[in-house]
Amino acid sequence: MSKTVVITGANRGIGLSFAQLFLKRGDTVYGVCRQASDALANSGAKIIDGVDVTKADGIARLAESLKGVNIDLLINNAGILRNESLGSLDPETIRAQFETNSLAPLLVTEALSDHFSDNAKVALITSRMGSIEDNTSGGRYGYRMSKAALNAAGKSLSEDLKPRGVAVAILHPGLVGTEMIGGHGDLTPDQAAQRLTERIDELTLETSGTFWHSNGQVLPW
């Protein structure tokens, strides 16, 4: 059956590939962005632009645009990567990553939770770099901290939304050749979106709150 899918950061990278994939499956896609790219504009997605997910008015605009819409799948994909090294830490880049990578997906999920259909799913696109156990190389303070915080939020969301029948997946895409990492990765954005979608399709209330690699491996916190 055709689904209604809402994707943040849908104008490029993995988010755009998600949009194209779900459209190909015959689903209705709402592509959320600050400004639509040509690729998103020509994709057939319904565009909700002018949404900066770190701004209260952006999230309010998103919720207002989706009034009366039943959401089957929300993909919180928008994110940023900055770099900090010990000795030259910049609190502003760390703060910006918290705002975008941790707080925004939580607040977007809360703002849209009244729109969730029965058995809706929420996907949080996190990173393996948010795994504390997996960290053997240090650095990347703001990104690692913000994705670890997102993972913690994802676990709480899975518990809080379970009674409503809503399942939550916490997903690492793999190393994906997007602008975020300079275009060189192990996977193309299309391959990453395909694998992540397989994980979302498999998600159940029983497995809700698990931290997965897109290859199906369960990752350590």
Q: How many CB atoms lie within 10 A of CB 44?
A: 13
Q: Cα–Cα distance between 9 and 18 in angstroms, integer?
A: 10
**Choice between 59 and 203, CB closer to ligand NDP:** 59
**Choice between 101 and 208, CB closer to ligand NDP:** 101
* Least Å from the CB of residue 133 to ligand NDP: 17
Residue 79, C-beta contacts closer than 8 angstroms, at least 6 positions apart: 9, 100, 101, 125, 127, 180
DSSP codes, 27-56: -EEEEE-SS--HHHHTTTPEEE-S--TTSH
* Least Å from the CB of residue 178 to ligand NDP: 3
Token pair 């996190």: residue: 126
Write out the residues near ligand NDP by the rule CB under 6 A: 9, 11-15, 33-34, 52-54, 77-81, 100, 125, 127, 172-173, 175-176, 178-181, 185
**Choice between 113 and 127, CB closer to ligand NDP:** 127
* Least Å from the CB of residue 118 to ligand NDP: 27
Q: Cα–Cα distance between 117 and 24 in angstroms, integer?
A: 22
**Choice between 43 and 163, CB closer to ligand NDP:** 43
* Least Å from the CB of residue 206 to ligand NDP: 25
In angstroms, what CA-CA distances link 8 with 12, 50, 52, 76, 79?
Answer: 10, 12, 10, 5, 9
**Choice between 2 and 217, CB closer to ligand NDP:** 217
* Least Å from the CB of residue 96 to ligand NDP: 9
**Choice between 127 and 197, CB closer to ligand NDP:** 127
* Least Å from the CB of residue 19 to ligand NDP: 10
CB 171 within 8 A of CB 125: yes
Q: Cα–Cα distance between 21 and 42 in angstroms, integer?
A: 14
